[in-house]
C-alpha cells in the first residue's frame, strides 16, 4: 500500500510501479515464447493468474456478481483477449520488448477511432491530427528492412494493439452494468481457457527451469494489476495514463541487460511519434466541447 498522502502523487507512483511490473511480466513472456508456441504462452499467462483472480473476485464481491453479467459482451471480450495475448506472444518471439512497445503504443489511437465508430463519440480536428501522427510513427517503426515485407511479428503486435483497443471500448459498454471484479474474472478465465483449447494440439511439456518464470508471471501480473487499479483510483486518468510510456525505457533496459539488444534508431523515432500522438490526445480531449 502506498503511503504518499498526496492522491495525485500516489496515483503517479502507483502507475510507475505498475508499468515496471508489466515490463518484467512481458520479459518473462518473451523468455517463454522462445521455447513454446504462442497459444501455449498465452494459456500459461492466464492459467497462472486465474487462481489469484478467483480468490480476489470471490472475496471482493462474491460468486453472484460473477454470473449476473452481459454474457454475450463478456464472451466477445474474452475471445478478443485470446487473440490479443496470442498475437502479442507471437510478436515477442522475435521482436525486442522496446520494439514491441513502440508498435503497441498505437492502441490509444485505435481506441479513439473505435470510440467514434462504435460509441458515436465526438473527436475534434486536433485529435484526428494526433491519430495521423501516431500512425506515421507506427509506419516508421514497421519500416521494411532491406526492402522486404513488414515482419509478421510487427503485424502481430499491431493486431494485439487493435484487439486491445476493441476490449477497451467493450469495457466502456460492459462497465455500465457489470462489476469490475466480474470483468477481470471473465477476462482472465477466457484468456486461460480459450488459449488452452488452441494450445492443446501442440502442447509442449513445461521445462523445470520455466516454473520460476511462471511464478514470476503470476506475482508480477498481480502486482501490476493492483497498482494500475490504484493509479486510476487515486489520480485523474489524464495525469497517470501518459506514464505508461515509461514502459519504453524499461523495454530498452531489459533488452540491453537480458538479450544484449540495442534499439534501432528508426524504432526510437517511430516510438517518439506515437508517444507524442498519445500525449496530444487527452490534452485536446479536455479542451473539446462536451456533448449535451
Express each pLDDT in 145-155 by its tens digit: 544 446 888 89
pTM over 0.85: no
Question: Residue 285 pLDDT more than 60?
Answer: no
The pair phi, psi for residue 210, each rounded to 5°, is: -90, -10
Is residue 244 very low, low, confident or very high in pLDDT (cuts 50, 70, 90)? Answer: confident
> Is there a contact between 194 and 39 (Cβ–Cβ < 8 Å)?
no
Percent of the chain having pLDDT more than 90? 30
The pair phi, psi for residue 218, each rounded to 5°, is: -65, -45
| Predicted local confidence at residue 184, as pLDDT | 77
User: Burial, 55: exposed, middle or buried (Cβ in 10 Å; 0-12, 13-18, 19+)?
Assistant: exposed
Residue that wins the pLDDT comparison between 256 and 174:
256
| Predicted local confidence at residue 282, as pLDDT | 60
**CA atoms of 136 and 269, how far apart (whole Å):** 10
Query: For the chain, what are the domain ranges?
Result: 7-287
Q: Which three cell numbers stand for residue 124?
A: 475534434
CA atoms within 13 Å, Cβ hemisphere of 290: 2
The pair phi, psi for residue 150, each rounded to 5°, is: -60, 140
Q: What is the mean pLDDT of residues 90-108?
A: 88
| Predicted local confidence at residue 290, as pLDDT | 38
The pair phi, psi for residue 151, each rounded to 5°, is: -65, 145
Is residue 69 very low, low, confident or very high in pLDDT (cuts 50, 70, 90)? Answer: confident
| Predicted local confidence at residue 287, as pLDDT | 41
Least confident of 26-30, 119-123, 286-290: 286-290
Residue that wins the pLDDT comparison between 151 and 238:
151
> Is there a contact between 181 and 65 (Cβ–Cβ < 8 Å)?
yes
C-alpha dihedral sign at 175, 194, 163, 26: positive
| Predicted local confidence at residue 117, as pLDDT | 74
Amino acid at each position: 500500500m502506498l503511503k504518499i498522502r498526496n492522491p495525485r502523487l500516489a496515483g503517479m507512483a502507483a502507475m510507475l510501479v505498475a508499468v515496471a511490473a508489466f515490463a518484467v511480466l512481458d520479459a518473462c513472456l518473451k523468455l517463454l515464447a522462445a521455447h513454446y508456441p504462442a497459444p501455449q504462452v498465452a494459456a500459461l499467462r492466464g492459467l497462472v493468474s486465474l487462481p489469484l483472480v478467483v480468490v480476489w473476485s470471490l472475496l471482493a464481491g462474491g460468486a453472484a456478481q460473477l454470473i449476473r453479467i452481459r454474457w454475450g459482451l463478456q464472451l466477445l471480450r474474452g475471445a478478443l483477449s485470446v487473440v490479443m495475448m496470442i498475437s502479442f506472444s507471437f510478436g515477442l518471439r522475435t521482436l525486442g520488448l522496446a520494439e514491441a512497445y513502440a508498435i503497441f503504443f498505437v492502441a490509444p489511437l485505435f481506441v479513439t477511432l473505435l470510440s467514434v465508430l462504435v460509441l458515436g463519440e465526438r473527436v475534434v480536428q486536433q485529435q484526428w491530427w494526433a491519430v495521423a501522427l501516431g500512425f506515421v510513427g507506427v509506419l516508421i517503426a514497421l519500416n521494411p528492412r532491406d526492402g522486404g515485407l513488414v515482419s509478421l511479428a510487427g503485424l502481430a503486435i499491431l493486431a494485439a494493439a487493435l484487439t486491445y483497443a476493441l476490449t477497451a471500448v467493450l469495457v466502456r459498454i460492459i462497465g455500465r452494468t457489470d462489476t469490475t471484479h466480474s470483468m477481470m474474472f471473465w477476462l482472465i478465465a477466457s484468456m486461460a481457457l480459450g488459449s488452452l483449447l488452441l494450445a492443446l494440439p501442440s502442447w509442449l511439456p513445461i521445462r523445470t527451469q520455466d516454473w520460476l518464470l511462471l511464478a514470476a508471471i503470476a506475482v508480477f501480473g498481480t502486482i501490476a494489476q493492483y497498482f494500475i487499479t490504484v493509479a486510476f483510483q487515486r489520480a485523474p486518468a489524464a495525469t497517470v495514463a501518459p506514464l505508461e510510456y515509461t514502459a519504453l525505457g524499461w523495454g530498452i533496459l531489459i533488452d540491453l541487460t537480458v538479450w544484449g539488444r540495442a534499439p534501432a534508431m528508426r524504432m526510437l523515432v517511430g516510438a517518439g511519434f506515437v508517444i507524442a500522438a498519445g500525449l496530444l490526445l487527452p490534452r485536446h480531449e479536455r479542451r473539446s466541447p462536451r456533448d449535451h
